[in-house]
Amino acid sequence: MDCFAVCGNGYCGVIGRQCQGKSCGFHKTKEEQERSLEKARERLRSLPEHQQDAIADKYYGGVRRW
């Protein structure tokens, strides 16, 4: 499988069961997943400073990982 979430044993790291291949709603290539993550990071960087601080505090222990 070419999905970003498939482990070596054929199980999906997202849903925790055998990979369903391209019919799975979570199926993405590694490149598609990286583009998706970069889009999310861009969105976070576009937020006002106080919102970025609040998100970093709540979910990332105060560290901006974007």
Specify the pLDDT at position 8. Answer: 84
Q: Is residue 44 part of a domain?
A: yes
Please give the span between the terminal C-alpha atoms of the chain, in angstroms, as a whole number. Answer: 29
Instruction: Kindly compute the dihedral angle of the four CA atoms of residues 39, 41, 42, 44, in this order, to the nearest 10 degrees.
Output: 130
Specify the pLDDT at position 5. Answer: 93
Domain enclosing residue 42, as ranges: 31-59
Is the pLDDT at 1 greater than 70? The verdict is no
Give how many domains the chain has, as a whole number: 1
Q: Is residue 36 part of a domain?
A: yes
Three-class SS state of 11: strand
Is the pLDDT at 62 greater than 80? The verdict is yes
Note the pLDDT tens digit of each residue in 8-59: 888 999 989 998 888 999 999 999 999 999 999 999 999 999 999 999 999 9
Round to whole Å and give the CA distance between 8 and 39: 27
Q: Is residue 66 part of a domain?
A: no
